[in-house]
């Protein structure tokens, strides 16, 4: 399936050192909703060649050993060329392929922020599927 992507947008990214007892947490959600553009400035985004969707990845992660936490939301608008169905009808494999760059953005931001804040970058590695795991 062909698709056109707009730039990834970091809506929020928050980093905190754990102030309480460290706990490990991994909550990464992937959602996709169809969008329609009504603004005349978005005239090139008519949807005549396929539907537009917003992919949203809200997250809250405290990797092992849980001494810090990152949270926020990353989004991206994509157009699925020649696809006029609903988001719920998409193959989960396609959603995984479309959302992977957003998850990689979380991994990259976390590494960069921890490189500065902790003087050592922390690598996160998320695996798609029911048992996604975060590691150092």
Query: Model confidence over 14-66: pLDDT tens digits?
Result: 999 987 777 888 899 999 999 977 655 554 666 678 899 999 999 999 987 77
- Is residue 25 within 8 Å of residue 62, measured between CB atoms? yes
Give me the pLDDT at residue 42, please. 57
- Is residue 50 within 8 Å of residue 83, measured between CB atoms? yes
Q: Which domains does the chain have, with CATH numbers?
A: 3-117 (3.10.420.10)
With residue 96 as reference, give the H or E element that holds it: helix 92-117
Cα separation values, 128 from 6, 28, 32, 121, 122, Å: 22, 10, 16, 22, 19
- Is residue 103 within 8 Å of residue 125, measured between CB atoms? no
pLDDT-derived band at 77, boundaries 50, 70, 90 = very high
Lowest mean pLDDT segment, chosen from 39-48, 86-95, 109-118: 39-48
Tokens of 115: 């490189």
Residues near 124 by Cβ (< 8 Å), separated by ≥ 6?
61, 63, 106, 107, 110, 111, 134, 135, 136
- Predicted TM-score of the model (pTM): 0.83
- Is residue 27 within 8 Å of residue 61, measured between CB atoms? yes
DSSP state of 87: G
With residue 112 as reference, give the H or E element that holds it: helix 92-117
**Using CA atoms, how far apart are residues 30 and 57, in angstroms rounded to an integer?**
5
């Amino acid at each position: 399936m062909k698709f056109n992507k707009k730039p990834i947008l970091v809506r929020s990214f928050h980093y905190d050192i754990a102030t309480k007892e460290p706990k490990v947490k991994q909550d990464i959600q992937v959602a996709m909703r169809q969008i329609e553009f009504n603004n005349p400035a978005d005239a090139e985004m008519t949807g005549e060649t396929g539907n537009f969707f917003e992919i949203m990845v809200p997250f809250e992660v405290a990797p092992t050993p849980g001494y810090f936490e990152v949270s926020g939301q990353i989004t991206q608008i994509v157009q699925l060329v020649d696809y006029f169905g609903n988001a719920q009808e998409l193959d989960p494999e396609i959603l995984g392929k479309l959302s992977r760059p957003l998850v990689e953005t979380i991994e990259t931001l976390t590494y960069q922020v921890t490189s500065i804040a902790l003087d050592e970058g922390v690598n996160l590695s998320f695996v798609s599927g029911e048992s996604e795991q975060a590691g150092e």
